[in-house]
Structure 1
Amino acid sequence: MVTVLAAVRLRRLPHAAPRATPLADAARDPYAVRVLRKVIDGCAFRVYGHWVKKGEGQNRAALFENMPKTELKSLYVTATRIAERMNTCHMRENVT
């Protein structure tokens, strides 16, 4: 009996109770509401999931990222610089 009462009290704590979200807030920033964010991400993955390959170059989590990760961005910048150097070397070889 005491266990049941404790469980009921724990359920009714303010932090555990679901909060009502005004529709205007959900319309303005749906990603601020966790439940809506999960629904949106699930729907987006079902629609666009086949475009994301399971390989080294792409990550399925990248589908939901707003900004590229810092490591990936630095890797891209490094690869771009190397490619530019290689292109300039090949151009010099072709000129001479």
Structure 2
Amino acid sequence: MGGQAQAAHRRPTRRAPAGRSFTTWLFMTTAVDGIADPNAAPIVDGQVANWLCAQRLASLRVNRTPDYERYLELLKDRASGQGARRRCGP
């Protein structure tokens, strides 16, 4: 096989959205004591983002670092009982 043919052969045909695969990796690397590890980083994907929007809590783009930071802040606020409902939108 030629160089280009080999490269095309190895190229994935379908890729997971960057946000989902990154936050899944992040969870797996931080959940050192298992899936219930309280120090594990939370996963955010399209399903989570859609639910948050439907609940009018947040509008997140799962492949953007600032939006992941907003997601973490939202989780902290909700856990502390300070999570006010926010309007869904940019």
**Band the TM-score falls in, shorter-chain normalisation:** under 0.3
Tell which structure's C-alpha radius of gyration is larger.
1
Normalised by the length of structure 2, the TM-score is 0.27
Structure with more contact order per residue of length (Cα contacts < 8 Å, sep ≥ 6): 2
Normalised by the length of structure 1, the TM-score is 0.26
